[in-house]
Amino acid sequence: MKSKDILDDLPDDPRFIEGIYNYCDRWCERCPFTSRCMLYAMEEGDRDDPEAHDINSEAFWNKLAGIFKQTHEMIATMAAEQGIDLEAMDLKPVKEEKDRKRARSKSNPLSRSAQQYVKLVKEWFDREYPEAEQERDADPTRTDLPLIDFDAQDRASNIQDAIEVIRWYQFQIAVKIMRGLMRDDPEEAGEPEAVRQSDSDGSVKVALIGMERSISAWGKLQELLPEKTAGILPILLHLEQLRRRTEQAFPKAQSFVRPGFDEAPDQFVS
């Protein structure tokens, strides 16, 4: 089916979940809901059946989610050993800010911290893991390995997966946080209480998901590249502090229900 044919049928197609694309991370290649997304159909209509992506993408994220708890415990242990209080940087919640313009600005502490993470990631890759070294580690066929080494192939694939996750969310975390700081609350926008959810919470939830997935990816990278642990751990600490501070500033973000992603199948709005 061609794009024009799809576009003609979109408004009445029951497959699509209404608004699912409003609170996603725009990583279609890794999304388990491409077959339910109208925006994906509009942009990718001439390509292969999107349902082929869904199963593999879900398995990828389930695997990464399993790493998050282990890495989170490692961060807590390391912080305790170094006398770092992950809760120490107490921010005034955004809802208590009297001056909304300040909350919207790039000078907001959350925005600055998120931008600092962007810088830390860039510096780490430039200094400790340049592209030449990445290509070497990601190549399971290099000459210093046996012709068939499945462990090396698996390691190379996992390294590449972790890097892709880190790079994908490197900038998006800051973008979503800043968008959350700039949006109006639903009660101020005049929305009825029955459908009231803060758009800012939805944006920030995407940022929080990006942080959790990035923490998992950094944890996996640290496991695969133990010689680089000293450079990775400060980034993990910074990201964990940012995650906690963001949850403090947006206490309702985690409970925000994103269409499709956070709903049971029988609750889908289409």
pLDDT tens profile 69-111:
667 777 777 777 777 777 765 555 544 544 454 445 577 889 9
Mean pLDDT in the chain? 76
The answer to which of 17-26, 140-149, 160-169, 173-182 has the lowest mean pLDDT is 140-149
Comparing C-alpha atoms, which of 161, 171, 159, 180 is closest to residue 26?
Answer: 171
Q: What percent of the chain has a predicted confidence (pLDDT) above 90?
A: 34
Residue 145 makes CB contacts below 8 A (sequence gap 6+) with 152
Provide the pLDDT for residue 139. 63
Provide the pLDDT for residue 125. 93
Mean pLDDT of 212-227: 94
Residue 92 makes CB contacts below 8 A (sequence gap 6+) with none
Provide the pLDDT for residue 97. 47
Res. 1: pLDDT tops 50: no
More confident residue, 55 or 6: 55
The answer to which of 12-16, 21-25, 235-239 has the lowest mean pLDDT is 12-16
Mean pLDDT of 111-125: 94
Q: Is the pTM value of this prediction over 0.75? A: no
Instruction: Return the amino acid letter for 184.
Output: D
Instruction: Return the amino acid letter for 190.
Output: G
Provide the pLDDT for residue 70. 67
Mean pLDDT of 10-27: 76
End-to-end CA distance of the chain: 21
Q: Which residues of 200-218 are buried (b: 16+ CB within 10 A; e: fewer)?
A: bbbbbbbbbbbbbbbbbbb
Domain boundaries, the chain: 63-257
Provide the pLDDT for residue 108. 85
Res. 114: pLDDT tops 80: yes
